[in-house]
Amino acid sequence: MKEFEVLVTGRMMPLVMEQLESRFTLHKLQEAADRDAFLAEVGPRIKAVATGGHVRTDGALLSRLPNVGIVANFGVGYDSVDAGWAGQHGVVVTNTPDVLTEEVADTCLGLLLMTVRELSASERYLRAGRWEKDGPYPLTHNTLRGKTVGILALGRIGKAIATRCEAFGLTVVYHGRSEQKGVPYRYYPTLVGMAQASDILISVAPGGQDTFHIIDAEVLRALGPKGVLINIGRGTVVDEGALINALQNKVIAGAGLDVFEKEPHVPPELIAMDHVVLLPHVGSASHHTRNLMGQLVVDNIVSFLSGKGPITPVAETPWPPKR
């Protein structure tokens, strides 16, 4: 299959690079000294693109690749790819669902426990020598006992989180674009309504224009002064300015965040707060899971270019294409 030429838009894990280089003629956009000249030369020959959230793969880029057939995205979220443009121009977009579901759900429950039980703060207390000097860490005001968790976006990962929450004895409710059949959890048609009914709001929502800042000041007020926000989905879903204000003024009790609006930048106001747990976007960050994700990127490209079609096309670019 060396007759096919593939473009990589940015840094990719060795597993992906090695396999693509062994099968195809590989071009690395990030190494081009003159991007425009590079695309003018190789663009018409590109049949597939491997990309990730670190690079915007939009219509402006894809239009320089008139013969591209597939964009394989590393990650379940693909808001950095203009899937709408791709669908309108006959280009299929794939992502990496399922293989990271359990890892992200595990991370979410760890983040939830760290936030509600102040485990990060209590560890810092111990490491600072305060246990011996000042006595036991103060009793935490919050607990998981008797709480209701509201999940925003009950997809694959949301359902895996819900299952784990049930095992912890939590009541689960959810909000999404529509009510799902066969789901044993109560559905709330509005996010504000679900926030009012929840003690803990967990966001698994993807990024993009449709979800931008949907967790805003009104939602945080509805969550209330004992409420906790956990975001394991995309940082752009939360209005960070409103969140900082809510945390500083005790509109909500705390937050656990694995994602941020302008990664890798984290607002210093969040870093300064003890009642906030911050992780550097590590939801799926194990060798085991990232290798599975990388392999799925490769497998999607190989399957498509061999004429078998994509393995995991996204909703905007179904396969076979709708006529």
pLDDT value at 23 more than 70: yes
pLDDT value at 44 more than 90: yes
pLDDT value at 162 more than 80: yes
Angle at 217 between CA 210 and CA 157, to 5 degrees: 50
Per residue in 119-145, pLDDT (tens digit) is 999 999 999 999 999 999 999 999 999
Q: How many Å apart are CA 59 and CA 197, to the nearest integer?
A: 41
Indicate the CATH number for domain 101-278: 3.40.50.720
H-helix or E-strand containing 200? strand 200-203
Strands ordered across the beta sheet of 200-203 = 186-187, 171-175, 148-152, 200-203, 228-231, 254-257, 276-278
For residue 38, the model assigns a pLDDT of 97
CB atoms within 10 A of CB 58: 13
Per residue in 58-107, pLDDT (tens digit) is 999 999 999 999 999 999 999 999 999 999 999 999 999 999 999 999 99
Name the architecture of domain 5-99+288-305.
3-Layer(aba) Sandwich (3.40)
For residue 109, the model assigns a pLDDT of 98
At 54, the pLDDT band (50, 70, 90 cuts) reads confident
- The pairing of strands 5-8 and 200-203 is unpaired
- Give the domain ranges of the chain: 5-99+288-305, 101-278
Q: Determine the average pLDDT of the residues in 283-312.
A: 98
Rounded to an integer, what is the distance from CA 121 to the centroid of its chain? 25
Residues with a known catalytic role: 234, 263, 281
Q: How many Å apart are CA 161 and CA 155, to the nearest integer?
A: 10
pLDDT value at 323 more than 70: no
For residue 3, the model assigns a pLDDT of 86
For residue 322, the model assigns a pLDDT of 72
**CB-count burial class (<10 Å; 0-12, 13-18, 19+) for 34:** exposed
Rounded to an integer, what is the distance from CA 229 to the centroid of its chain? 16
At 321, the pLDDT band (50, 70, 90 cuts) reads confident
Quick check: do 5-99+288-305 and 101-278 share a fold?
yes
Share of the chain above pLDDT 70, in %: 99
**Lowest-confidence pick of 52-66, 133-147, 181-195:** 52-66
